[in-house]
Each structure stands twice: as C-alpha cells, then as structure tokens.
Amino acid sequence: MELTWDSLELANFRNDSDGIWFTNTSLLITVDPSNIHHIMTSNFQNYPKGPDFKYIFDVLGDGIFNSDSDSWKNQRKIAQSLIVHEKFFEFMCGVAKEKVEKGLVPILEHFCESKKVVDLKDLFLRLMFDTTCTMVAGFDFNSLSIDFPDIPFTKAMDDIQEVIFFRHLYPKFYWELLKKLGLGDAKKMKNGTDTINQVIAHLIALKKQRLKLQQEDDGGDPDLITRYMMNEHDGIDYNDKFFRDLILTYLIAGRDGLSIALSWLFLTLSKNPTIIANIREELKNIPQKESESRKGKPQIFGSEELSNLAYLHGAICEILRLYPPVAFEHKSSVEADTLPSGHLVKAGTRIVLSTYALGRIKSVWGEDCEEFKPERWISEKGRIKREPSYKFFTFNTGPRSCLGKEVTIAQLKIISAAIIHNYDIEAVVEDNNGIAPVASIILHMKTGFKVRVSKRSW
C-alpha cells in the first residue's frame, strides 16, 4: 500500500501484522481529532512518548521533548515557571524586534540596493538561529550578515533531522549495525552530534564564566540558561549534560519552528497579493514613531501593537495549519485501548499523529481546507477566532501543549509585519511554484526560495 500524508482522511491507517519492516511493533496513523484528543488529553497517561521515541531521538538526550513520567513533570513545571512569565515574554519579543531592526533590515536594504537575488529560506534560518541563541544562551552567532558565513552547527542540525526521519523506518538491528560499522546515516548522525556537542559545550563554558564575573547583586542576563542557572529546583541535577540537552531542544524548537513558518508564509504570500494588501491595510493604522519617520527608517512594530490585528493573526495561523513545522507526533500505548473512532490499540502500538495531514482534512476544515484563507481565523465580529488545540494541533494539545505558543506567534508577527509593511518580495524562479517539503521530521523546504527584495511602492 502506498501511503502519503495527503491521502489520509479520518480513516486510520494501521499495520498489525508485522508493523514496520522486520520489527515486532504495530503501527497506527490517525488524523481524527477525537482520537487526538483522547490520546493527548483524555487518556494521556496511557500514551507516553515511549522507549522507541527516546531511542530514535536519542540526540536530544533527556530533554523535555524526550522525557516521560516524573522526569517530564519536573522539567515541565520548571520550564513553565521560567518561560510563561511576563518579563521573559517581553525579553523574547524585545530580542526579536532588535534583531529585525539591527540584523534583518540592513540585510534587506542591502539586497534592495544591489538588486541581487537572495534565498529567503536561508535568510530566515540565519535570523532565527541568531535570535534563538540570544534568547536561550545570551550569545549571538551573527550568522545573519552580508557575507552569509558558513555555520557548521546549523548544517549539523539539518543532517540530524533528516536522519531521524529515516530512523522511523529502520529496524533497530539495522541501525545498530550501521552504528557499529560507522556507515551511512549512522556516520552522518555521529558527525552531526559531535559538532553540536562541541559548540554547546563552548556555550555552557562561556555562560558559566560570564556568571562568575557578574556582581552578586546583579540580576544576571535575562536569557533562559541564566534563569535556569540562577534558580535552584528540587529534582533536577543541573549538570553540563542537562544544559546541553536543554540548549539543543530549545534551539531546534526556535530556529526551525519559526524559520519554517516564515519561509512557507512568504512563499504563499508571493502568490496572494490580495492577502498582502489586507495585512498592509491593518498595519497602516499603527502610527509610526517620530524618530523613524524623521530619519526615513523602515517601520518596525512591537508585539503590543500587533497583538489585536485579526487578519495578520489569521495569516500566521493559516500557515501553521497548512505547514506545521513538526509534521507528525509520535506516541506509544502502554495498555490496550479503544479509540473514539472504534479502532483497537494493542499494548506497545506505535502511534503517529500527522499534524501535516490534519490541516488538509475536508471533514475537519471544510471543502476549502487546502486554500490559504486568513478569514478562517476571524469571527463575524472581526475578532481573532480560536480553534480547539486537538483540531489545530500545531502547538500540541493537552498536558504537553507548547509552552512557547504565545511568544512564537508574537515573534512571527513582529518579523512578518516588518517585511510586509516595508518591502515587496518577488519570487524570481518559476520552480518556486514546485517547492515541496523535505523528507524530515521538520517541514523544511526541499529547495531554497529565491526572491528579489525592493522597497515597497507606496
């Protein structure tokens, strides 16, 4: 049977005979919102990530994405106290705005003047890598610069994500053989992991050194790792491995999640000038600061100015619905269970929840489910419309729902609004129409997204 994510309807795909080739596991793939709600919320305890997940995603170590039971509960509790905090939200939005003003805008201005083609996918990856590093560890790699320097760390992350995707299909004995022989994807995984470990170890050492130099009465840097280091919590051993796993987890979430959303957003907008016009109509009502107007600078918006713009919010949600950065969620059943759809789940079944396919299900989103319609997220009164998280599954749902949802959306608004309001983006390669997602756990574009940037024609 040939299986594609786009072909899935509410019916579930399963294989109970042999499961994945030469393995002793059964597989069930579902995109039914009632099943998602049951697995992720109603019967949450029966569906942990499981040992198979941790084995496949072993590069993440014991970080919160990989953990279950008490380890996950402790990490979740601490992360919630540090991340879901007004001051940290303000810090993260401030970092995004400053990076747009001092990093992104000068690059866009350069390409406006030179009239050269730029790969927007690469640009967004660099922007979000620098931004996320600043937020997480307090260091800016300055990969977003005119000369677009090579950053081995980012190449290593891309390689690892690609290998993890294929590891879902490899029998365990085959993967162990590749590791033993140092061949193929196992070699790529080791090389990528070594690079990542070296860079993160350097970051941790620099952070510890910086903290030692600070005065006792100094509140410390506002980045996430500093907040962890300066707050002791029971049940957590704050050693270098803990910080290594933490940094990698948040770097992947921040760099990849936001850069992917921005890439697909501007590819989609390049084909929908009416939607761009509607967003600009909203933005024109935000008064420009006198300092920006007097100096002829591009207008950069803050999170508070953008928070209630329904059409911009709808555009962000639409791109996350159609192109969720994490294409699927992986769970395992502890005990036998019956799903709301009526399907029997055996103990030890591997379950895949396809976020990508869910956004394209007609019975969930309507006959126009494959259309990009920001209006889908606007109420009759013109306000932002919310959808249940088990239907709009991009930020997960239930106890494991994403703690960074609000700040993610805020950052996407800050970056996209600045570009849409000040610049015209023109796709220059016909093949842009054929851009497709890469085979990976993360929904990167398979190719670059080449564009020309010009100052907006008012």
β-strand partners of 455 = 423
Which residues 6+ apart lie within 8 Å of 42 measured at CB?
Answer: none
Query: Annotation-wise, does 93 bind a ligand?
Result: no
CB 374 within 8 A of CB 315: yes
CA atoms within 13 A on the CB side of 321: 27
**Residue 357 token pair:** 């396919």
Question: What value, to the nearest 5°, has the Cα angle with vertex 265 and ends 129 and 356?
Answer: 90
- H or E element in which residue 29 lies: strand 27-30
Q: What is the DSSP string of 193-245?
A: HHHHHHHHHHHHHHHHHHHHHS-TT-----SHHHHHHTS--TT----HHHHHH
Q: Using alpha carbons, list the distances in angstroms from residue 224 to 79, 261, 417, 418.
A: 9, 23, 26, 26
Mark out the alpha helices in 256-404 (DSSP H runs).
257-269, 273-283, 290-295, 303-306, 310-322, 355-358, 362-365
The angle, 0 to 180 degrees and rounded to 10, between the axes of the packed helices 152-167 and 120-137 is: 100
Please compute Rg for the chain using Cα positions: 22
> Distance between CA 246 and CA 136 in Å, rounded?
9
**Length of the chain in residues, anyone?**
458
Distance CA 198, CA 349 (A): 36
Dmax (CA) for the chain in angstroms is 71
Q: Do residues 91 and 410 lie in contact, with contact meaning Cβ atoms separated by under 8 Å?
A: no
Residue ranges of the annotated binding site for heme are 402
Per the annotation, binding residues are 402
